[in-house]
Copies of this chain bind each other. A is one copy, B any other.
Amino acid sequence: MSDMSKVYAVIMAGGSGTRFWPASRKRTPKQLLPLGGGSKTLLAETVDRLAGLVPPENLVVVTAAHLLEATRAVLPKEATILAEPAARNTAPCIAWATWSIMARDPEARVLVLPSDHAIAAPQDFVACIKRALEAAASGTVATIGITPTRPETGYGYIEVGDSVGQGVRKAVRFVEKPNRERAAEYLASGRFLWNAGMFFYRAGDMMKAIRTHLPQLAEQADAMTKDPAGVAELFPLCQSVSIDTGVMEKLDSLYVVPGDFGWNDVGSWESAWELGAKDAEGNVVPEGSVLIDAKRNLVKLLGKQQGKTVALLGVTDLVVVETDDALLVMPKERAQDIRAIVEHLQTAKKTELL
């Protein structure tokens, strides 16, 4: 970590998603929304957390072509943006970004981060990143595993084994989303961490790993690096595969840095409520709201709706989200069912709302 100029961040910001409708749309997915409790987008918060660790000119943000302008708007002007012409999961994304970085600096040390998570203790997070980069300095890819706080069935886990240094463990295996019983066992064992999709490596090491485990992708990345104008044609031909199953699970050795920094994957409007600043009654609402017998509600106003006066009378545990063209009301506990609304809009061909 002595030479910051060699540290690059690949921020994966191409995600779409329906779980934050009506705020999230094709053109404003989750990472471009202020869902972390502050006024900045999750992507901007992700970038902010790296200040002092990654020089702005070493930020490589991979997004989707249709999100290019909106993504650029929240990034420092020095950042590089790679716009994927098609969604091909994380392995092609990381390959393209890693090859690009390698072309700039053969000694680059890379951290790969999702753009749409929230972190309550950014300083602890940065300490984990530094540890993971150090661990990866010897040639072994590293990841951060989140210390679980509940028997979550919605995440993948990483089983860890022996310690290989202060705060660094060997990965034993990746496991898919478990059922409730299995998740409880994982939590009790203390040997399972949540897979948060963060990876740390020297650029050359990842190139080698991809060349070994996804040789076709490596060739495609070679070609895209040789002919950047060909990306539009070449990228969509890449196999859609995650870096986890395509590479990470196949590595002979992988290091895991256990992390406990208030990580939240911001998976639903309920998470947004958890992350928000609450009043004494647990409401996360715009300033100036009139609240009478109202408890634990989330109200989110977006676009020109901001500044509107919200009055809640006698309601609890509701989610109310308003954009300029849509209004959603549901109980927090139904947050996972929002997909049904989006499907309805798709069936009704209301594409302007998607």
Contact = CB atoms under 8 A, between A and B. Distances in A.
A310 interface: yes
Nearest to A297: B329
A290 B344 contact: yes
B353 A328 contact: no
Contacts of A123: none
A33 to B, nearest CB: 17
For A311, A312, A331, A340, the residue with the greatest tally of chain B CB atoms inside 10 Å of its CB is A311
Contact of A329 (B21, B309, B312): B312
Q: How many copies does the complex hold?
A: 2
A103 interface: no
B334 A314 contact: yes
Interface stretch (A175-183, A202-210, A224-232, A318-326): A318-326
A337 B313 contact: yes
A186 B310 CA distance: 42
A4 interface: no
B292 A337 contact: yes
A223 interface: no
A314 B292 contact: no
For A292, A322, A325, A327, the residue with the greatest tally of chain B CB atoms inside 10 Å of its CB is A327
Interface string A225-260: 000000000000000000000000000000000000
A184 interface: no
Interface residues of A, number: 37
A349 interface: no
Nearest to A323: B308
Contacts of A1: none
A322 to B, nearest CB: 6
Contact of A350 (B21, B305, B309, B314): B309
A341 interface: yes
A22 interface: yes
A328 B344 contact: no
Nearest to A22: B311
Contact of A330 (B21, B299, B312): B312
A318 B329 contact: yes
B309 A325 contact: yes
Contacts of A308: 324-327
Nearest to A318: B329
Interface string A3-32: 000000000000000000110000000000
Given A290-B345, A310-B329, A311-B327, 12 more contacts: A290-B341, A308-B325, A309-B326, A313-B330, A313-B340, A314-B330, A314-B331, A314-B337, A315-B330, A318-B329, A320-B329, A322-B327
Question: What are the 3 closest A-B residue pairs judged by CB atoms, nearest first?
Answer: A313-B330, A314-B334, A309-B326
